[in-house]
Amino acid sequence: MVWRRELARQTVRLAICVAVALVCARGQAGLTIRFDYTYDGNGLFDDPARRELLEVSAGLVNRFIDDLDAIVPSSSDHWSYYVPRPDDPNFAFVDDDTIPADTVKIYVGGRDLSANYLALASLASTWLVDGSDDWENTIAYRGEIGADADPATDYAFYAGSITFNTVRNWHFSRTTDGLDETTVDFLTVATHELLHLLGFGPAESWNAHIADGRFAGPEAMAVGSSNNPDLVLDSVRAHWAADTLSAVGEASQEALLTPYIRRGERRLPTALDRAGLRDIGWQEAPAGDANLDRAINGIDIQAILAANLFGKDKEQLVAQQAWPALWATGDFTGDGVVNGIDIQAILETNLFGTGPYASTTPEEGAAQVVELMVGPQGLSIDTGGATVNGYVLASSSGVFRGQPADNLGLFQEDTDCRISGNLGFALDGVWRLGNVIGEDVGDVDFFSDLALSYTLVGRPGVYAARIVAVPEPCTLLMLAGGVWGLLLAFAAGRRRAR
């Protein structure tokens, strides 16, 4: 019999704003974060809408396909753990709990905390383990190779708790309507706190990347920050330094995992936050695996179509009570909307319809064969002998105000700023988009305004096309006549020279 008396693994306390956990229902593979309301004795989550908001928080974060071993007690294997109760200051002791494979349990509730906190998050701690060495390792590491290494390169846990401050004025809504300087956004705080439970702070694999108050994980360093290039951390080394900027899609935003969340503020997980999770050891699914079943196929496309969010902007999603969009509904870039960029991300993996995936890496140095031709007859795509299976054409100034574009396939877009065609077709030769540029467009430098990115059949990665100007027909005739005239003059000169 092995007895363990451990301090509760790092309780995360955030001054002025913080907090939460979440759960995302899933299918055959991938992480499930299961909320448990056993210790919601003060009724903070009696309202089903608040529980739904926790699930949204889970959907914003969970895109992981890690394999966590199940914890199943038996006649010879027993255990117990303790976790801070969310509804009072005491610990709850849990005996012989069964934790399914790929699942973590988060107890949630609320009570009156001090004025400095929005919420407290804490991992559960093992109290007793009685059984074999394999049983003990299953509880400690859940089969994650690298979690028991020195230094650790992976991370796993089985349970934790989140306590929300019931005296705070929370904004319990998926959208930001009504969020102002008098309220704190529950979705932001909840998602922030979930990231702590997923390892920001308590994971040994997180701390293994810290030196001199800076985080040096390779994924995070590759993403970087425009105003915190050294990735300096806060004083407790569980957050990026205050005001650290990163990206949500193409927009700049303060990282979610900074120490403070302000009243009236909505934040989503940024590229830097997600990179930190990868450095901790969480394995992200490739874009397109909406249901996290380790395959990208028609089932995922059906899920995206059923969600009916494609091509809608933020305002439309807010009206539909569907903003921000989630991984499970097609937002694979994390910008809160579903558009051609997300579909292109699926094609970029080169995994669609190929069966269960392992991994694939975009090819380096692929030849730039595709051209966007700009001319008096409109825009055309010349594939240069390659086969294109998806493209996104963007205009920074919104010049696509002319005729509707000629597109193929599913998930078409045709807005002032973006035209895309994806899935269901293979494009080779020259494809004419038509006179999509509005007649009211003034002087525009199309070489700097337009950008065409595309994916190729059988090749992972996304590539940028070259932009080529096509002269008007009369100009071609003038050029041809001029050349012919030069040739005649040259021939006459040669005759005279004789």
Q: Consecutive 10-residue runs of the chain (498 residues): their mean pLDDT? A: 33 30 43 97 97 96 95 97 96 98 97 88 96 96 94 97 96 95 97 97 97 97 97 97 95 96 96 97 95 92 94 93 95 95 91 75 55 86 87 90 80 87 81 86 84 84 86 48 43 49
Q: What is the tally of structural domains in the chain? A: 3
Q: 494 in a domain, yes or no?
A: no
Q: 355 in a domain, yes or no?
A: no
**Residue 275 shares a structural domain with residue 303:** no
Which pLDDT value is given to residue 386?
85
Q: 331 in a domain, yes or no?
A: yes
**Residue 342 shares a structural domain with residue 404:** no
Which pLDDT value is given to residue 494?
47
**Residue 213 shares a structural domain with residue 162:** yes
**Residue 269 shares a structural domain with residue 382:** no
Which pLDDT value is given to residue 236?
95
**Residue 403 shares a structural domain with residue 430:** yes
Which pLDDT value is given to residue 29?
62
**Residue 316 shares a structural domain with residue 460:** no
**Residue 93 shares a structural domain with residue 229:** yes
Which pLDDT value is given to residue 150?
93
SS3 sequence of the chain: CEECCCCCCCCEEEECCCCCCCCCCCCCCCCEEEEECCCCCCCCCCCHHHHHHHHHHHHHHCCECCCCCCECCCCCCEEEEEEECCCCCCEEEEECCCECCCEEEEEEEEECCCCCEEEEEEECEEEEEECCHHHHHHHHHCCCCCCCCCCCCCCCCCEEEEEEECCCCEECCCCCCCCCCCCEEHHHHHHHHHHHHCCCCCCHHHHCCEECCEECCHHHHHHCCCCCCCCEECCCCCCECCCCEEEECCEEEECCCCCCCCCCCCCCCCHHHHHHHHHHCCCECCCCCCCCCCCECHHHHHHHHHHCCECCCHHHHHHCCCCCCCHHHCCCCCCCCECHHHHHHHHHHCCECCCCCCCCCCCCCCCCCCEEEEECCEEEEECCCCCEEEEEEEECCCCCCCCCCCCCCCCCEECCCEEEEEEEEEECCEEEEECCCCCCCCCCCHHHHEEEEEEECCEEEEEECEEEECCCHHHHHHHHHHHHHHHHHHHHHHHHHC
Range of the domain at 303: 298-349
Which pLDDT value is given to residue 308?
95
